[in-house]
Structure 1
Amino acid sequence: MSAPPSSADAPGRNRWRSLAWLIPAAILAAAVIVLLAIGFRSTAAGGDFIRTYPGASELPAGAPVGIPAWLGWQHYLNALFLVLIVRTGLQVRADARGSHAWTGRARRGGKPPHRMTLELWTHLAVDTLWIANGVIYVVVLFATGQWVRIVPTSWDIVPNAVSAALQYASLDWPTKNGWVNYNALQLLSYFAVVFLAAPLAIVTGIRLSSYWPAKWRRARWYPLGLARALHYPTMLFFVAFVIVHVTLVLTTGALRNLNHIYASQDTQSWVGFGIFAASTVLLVLAWFAARPVLTKPVAQLFGEVVKTPPRRQRPPRG
């Protein structure tokens, strides 16, 4: 006979059951939005609005055309580091004690070395690589003029973004040519990811880490609770963005889109898809590779790693 379900499992099941109503509610809301968008587009005012604002702002004169190879490499490295950041971040949230403890080498001036779990050390190490990659990306972005493709340069970006959202919502998606110019909604999304969400993730992560200066720990101008309240939702934003981004890439001309970013060419060949498929396999392997058996040897290059002793079992009540 199977054992009866424990009472500890009940809260989890009840929580999911209480949220089950969100699924039909989301479907109903999506259907209403689609019908409203289609209805508005069928009116004279809606048609005039989309003709006036087709969904994309014109780029400044001399804007670069095409996606260079360096941008493709940056794109992939950014995806790799984000996958590892999410993976290690979830590990940190799942077990605050961690499987191993990492202690840094002795610091100058007699200051005590940093101590943290191996999972947190891995998370911070990947964060550092992600930040370094981001700095290189932003520097080269402005040096090559590619910044005009993801930074708003005129106020008509707002009505064009509304127009693009309306076209997406009505299921008659805007004509796109990402090789030349992103639509306004894409542009604002990329701008938000690069210049708003990424810096927010960095500044909140630094505040939560042990590297935050001790003399500022009780600073009222940046309380720990605020950083904690913003850091995890920022990660969820990145996850949501990736899901929507990949979905649109694959449903709006997959071969051409994948060639743009992975093969740096504006063609319908399968080259970009092949590179994308291989890189996706590497991302999956990286997800499963972020385990102590592989991260421990790397962490030992920068400090001492010891296994965390098991928790003491509480004696049964009786």
Structure 2
Amino acid sequence: MSLQTKSKQQASDGGSRWVRPAVWAAAAVVALAAVVILARWARELAPVQDFLLQFPGHSELPDNAPVGIPAWLGWQHFLNAFFLVLIIRSGWQVRTTARPKAYWTRKNTGLLKTKGKPAKISLELWFHLSVDVLWLLNGAVFVVLLFVTGAWMRIVPTSWDIFPNALSAGLQYASLSWPVENGWVNYNALQVLAYFAVVFIAAPLAAITGVRMSPAWPKDKAALSKAFPIEAARKIHFPVMLFFTGFVIMHVALVLCTGALGNLNHMFAARQDAGWLGFGIFAASLVLMVGAVFLARPLFLRPIAGVMGKISK
């Protein structure tokens, strides 16, 4: 094969790799456009308009529900996002790294042992498990504060009308006529269901399945392992990661599209105004996340992991 022919073949192969993604992207755009057109048409129908009037998109909160976003929720939100980004990145590395560059063995075996011997795990898995622990500790503090302060009423459905209101909010989003936002007082029904699913369903599933796949799982408990096989944990754990990834993307997009300054002030500055403080804190948090992702590589992880265990190739 001549050099010119080989070059043409490589160019052809390179071009063909983009055909399928381009087709899927075009199909997605067409599908989204069809959804918007259908939703806008539906909103012109009299029964749908009556439905939207009856169910505006949010449920009424109990009279004793707290108003406003407390400061602790701001730093909890940042820590949760910070750890979650690192968890998703390290989890993907664990899944895709065929030959780890380094391994970690714990000095004090504790729970991390296999058949009485210290478990030898990849550096990527060590980092993933370490960030998991920090994320779970932060989540435990968050849940305690939710129930101590009464803020749980903002993200836990307290009325069955949450479901028709969620349908109403979804129709409003789909028609690109956003639901009326007043997140300082009350989230819309779709937000409530999404936040409830993240905190009380997805997070526990991620934790339980993660423990099942980790060296911390008691290998000598045959009945327990049979009741919860590792294959089932794997089938749940990865889709949960995809759910978190999709939630983060959609969450950030809607925050920026439905009144960015006001939303960011609620989330990061515990303020109800449209100033730039929340945006500044958000920007600083992005810098920290990007820096953490950059530093989360073997060159920088080895010294930290070496404090708690032995690093080997």
Distance (whole Å) between structure 2 residues aligned to residue 2 and residue 192 of structure 1: 56
Q: State which drifts further: 134-143 or 108-117.
A: 108-117
> What TM-score, normalized to structure 2?
0.91
Aligned with residue 295 of structure 1, among 298, 301, 308: 301
Indicate if the aligned counterparts of 1:262 and 1:275 stay in contact, CA closer than 8 A.
yes
1:304 aligns with 2:304: no
Aligned with residue 212 of structure 2, among 197, 207, 219: 207
Gaps of 5+ in 1: 309-318
Distance (whole Å) between structure 2 residues aligned to residue 4 and residue 280 of structure 1: 44
Gaps of 5+ in 2: none
Distance (whole Å) between structure 2 residues aligned to residue 50 and residue 139 of structure 1: 36
Q: State which drifts further: 148-157 or 211-220.
A: 211-220
1:193 aligns with 2:198: yes
Check 1:132–1:297 CA distance in 2 against 1; reply closer, same or farther (3 A cut).
Answer: same
Check 1:235–1:53 CA distance in 2 against 1; reply closer, same or farther (3 A cut).
Answer: same
Q: What do the CA deviations read for 1:266-309 (whole angstroms, capped 9, x no partner)? A: 01111111111111111110111101121111111211012x2x
- Deviation at 1:4? 4.2
Indicate if the aligned counterparts of 1:204 and 1:230 stay in contact, CA closer than 8 A.
yes
Equivalent pairs counted in the alignment come to 306
Distance (whole Å) between structure 1 residues aligned to residue 33 and residue 248 of structure 2: 23
Distance (whole Å) between structure 2 residues aligned to residue 12 and residue 70 of structure 1: 50
Secondary structure in 1 matching 2:121: strand
User: Which residue number in structure 2 is paired with residue 75 of structure 1?
Assistant: 77
1:286 aligns with 2:288: no
Q: State which drifts further: 25-34 or 119-128.
A: 25-34
Secondary structure in 2 matching 1:60: coil
User: Which residue number in structure 2 is paired with residue 311 of structure 1?
Assistant: none
Aligned with residue 240 of structure 2, among 229, 234, 240: 234
Indicate if the aligned counterparts of 1:103 and 1:115 stay in contact, CA closer than 8 A.
yes
Q: What do the CA deviations read for 1:117-166 (whole angstroms, capped 9, x no partner)? A: 11100100000000000000000111000000000000000000000000
The residue type equivalent to 2:152 in the other structure is: W
The residue type equivalent to 2:88 in the other structure is: V
Q: What do the CA deviations read for 1:185-243 (whole angstroms, capped 9, x no partner)? A: 01101111111111111111111111111124683321221111121111111111111
Distance (whole Å) between structure 1 residues aligned to residue 220 and residue 13 of structure 2: 41
User: Which residue number in structure 2 is paired with residue 39 of structure 1?
Assistant: 41
> What TM-score, normalized to structure 1?
0.90
How much is the aligned-residue C-alpha RMSD, in angstroms?
2.4
Check 1:251–1:299 CA distance in 2 against 1; reply closer, same or farther (3 A cut).
Answer: same
1:1-318 residue pairs with structure 2 within 5 A? 4=6, 17-107=19-109, 111-216=116-221, 219-306=225-312, 308=313
Check 1:173–1:76 CA distance in 2 against 1; reply closer, same or farther (3 A cut).
Answer: same
- Deviation at 1:20? 3.9
Distance (whole Å) between structure 2 residues aligned to residue 279 and residue 120 of structure 1: 25
Check 1:245–1:3 CA distance in 2 against 1; reply closer, same or farther (3 A cut).
Answer: farther
Secondary structure in 2 matching 1:215: coil
Indicate if the aligned counterparts of 1:66 and 1:179 stay in contact, CA closer than 8 A.
yes
Secondary structure in 2 matching 1:102: strand
- Deviation at 1:9? 12
Check 1:61–1:3 CA distance in 2 against 1; reply closer, same or farther (3 A cut).
Answer: farther
Indicate if the aligned counterparts of 1:67 and 1:264 stay in contact, CA closer than 8 A.
yes
Task: Report the structure, 1 or 2, having the larger helix content.
Answer: 2
Indicate if the aligned counterparts of 1:161 and 1:184 stay in contact, CA closer than 8 A.
yes
- Deviation at 1:19? 4.8
- Deviation at 1:22? 2.0
Distance (whole Å) between structure 1 residues aligned to residue 220 and residue 12 of structure 2: 44
Distance (whole Å) between structure 1 residues aligned to residue 11 and residue 235 of structure 2: 27
The residue type equivalent to 2:279 in the other structure is: F
Q: State which drifts further: 221-230 or 101-110.
A: 101-110
The residue type equivalent to 2:50 in the other structure is: D
The residue type equivalent to 1:263 in the other structure is: A
- Deviation at 1:81? 0.2
Check 1:10–1:205 CA distance in 2 against 1; reply closer, same or farther (3 A cut).
Answer: farther
